[in-house]
């Protein structure tokens, strides 16, 4: 049997989950989304994700047709209907059906789509062995074009960087901003360990203030680590004792090679593995 998808007013069978070809989410990437995890049947950090969704929507003048509390209940209903115990939710809000022109004001009502399914972003063994990554030539969008805090449906910038990694036989790439500072990976936040401190780019560098990023920073500080948000260069990555990524789907995963250069011992470092263990315990607490 297929999945049950929440489409606007209720659950429909996967085969019946259809949108108009005139939806501006399809025509122009005009919309916002959230990726959310489910652990042991519970939706992880749902309130934080919904608050960010509504902030993103307000930033692009997209009015959601449902109250936050109601949307939270719809998310839980979708998880329950698909019997998801450990999985992933993709919550999308598109501008809705309009015309072939750019004018968003012709779209009468936003569309809400909720998908709940299983996910494995990286093979499990890579959490023990670590990822190899490259530096992308594709520059991160300038933060004065579209704010990186808007989690929009337009991911072409990230997709082009992802293709660079895939073309070189790797799964991930580090993206840099217009000033040459580290922004983020194609879908995850970046951390490095140097002299016992955790360093991560500030959101002003062009990175999304990830929910998992926030949780890991809190866990690190609770366990005695100093966490500093500062601009980082490619040299900082090359010189790092450890590098790891955080994200909703990725969770916490170590980087063992960047641009052909070994990171640390060539295995996920002790700080990375400690924070992965702390994170896994936290999400199931």
Active site residues: 151
Rounded CA separation 41/118 (Å):
12
The answer to whether the CB of 213 falls within 8 A of the CB of 188 is no
C-beta atoms surrounding 122 within 10 Å: 15
Q: b/e per residue, 165-179, with b = 16+ CB within 10 A? A: beeeebbbbbbbbee
Rounded CA separation 232/182 (Å):
5
Closest alpha carbon to 253 in 240, 264, 267: 267
Dihedrals phi, psi of 64, to nearest 5 degrees: -75, 140
- Tokens 């959101």 -> residue: 203
Dihedrals phi, psi of 88, to nearest 5 degrees: -140, 140
Closest alpha carbon to 272 in 239, 245, 234: 245
The answer to whether the CB of 201 falls within 8 A of the CB of 191 is no
DSSP 219: H
Q: What are the residue ranges of helices labelled H in 151-210?
A: 156-167
């Amino acid at each position: 049997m297929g999945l049950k998808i929440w489409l606007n007013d209720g659950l429909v069978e996967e085969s019946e989950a259809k949108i108009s070809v005139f939806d501006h989410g399809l025509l122009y990437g005009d919309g916002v989304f959230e990726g959310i995890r489910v652990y042991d049947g519970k939706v992880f950090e749902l309130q934080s994700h919904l608050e960010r969704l509504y902030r993103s929507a307000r930033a692009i003048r997209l009015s959601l047709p449902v109250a936050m509390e109601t949307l939270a209940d719809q998310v839980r209903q979708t998880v329950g209907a698909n019997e998801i115990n450990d999985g992933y939710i993709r919550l999308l809000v598109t501008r809705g059906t309009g015309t072939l022109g750019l004018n968003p004001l012709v779209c009468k009502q936003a569309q809400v789509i909720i998908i709940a399914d299983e996910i494995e972003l990286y093979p499990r063994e890579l959490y023990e062995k670590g990822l190899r990554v490259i530096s992308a030539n594709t520059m991160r969008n300038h933060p004065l074009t579209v704010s990186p805090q808007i989690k929009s449906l337009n991911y072409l910038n990230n997709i082009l960087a992802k293709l660079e990694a895939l073309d070189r036989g790797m799964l991930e790439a580090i993206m840099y901003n217009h000033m040459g500072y580290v922004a983020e990976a194609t879908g995850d936040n970046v951390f490095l360990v140097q002299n016992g401190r955790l360093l991560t780019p500030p959101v002003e560098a062009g990175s999304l203030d990830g929910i998992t990023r926030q949780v890991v920073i809190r866990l690190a500080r609770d366990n005695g680590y100093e966490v500093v948000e500062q601009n980082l260069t490619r040299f900082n990555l090359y010189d790092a004792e450890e590098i790891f990524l955080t994200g909703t789907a990725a969770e916490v995963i170590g980087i063992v090679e960047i641009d052909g250069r070994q990171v640390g011992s060539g295995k996920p470092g002790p700080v990375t593995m400690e924070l992965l263990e702390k994170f896994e315990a936290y999400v199931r607490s």
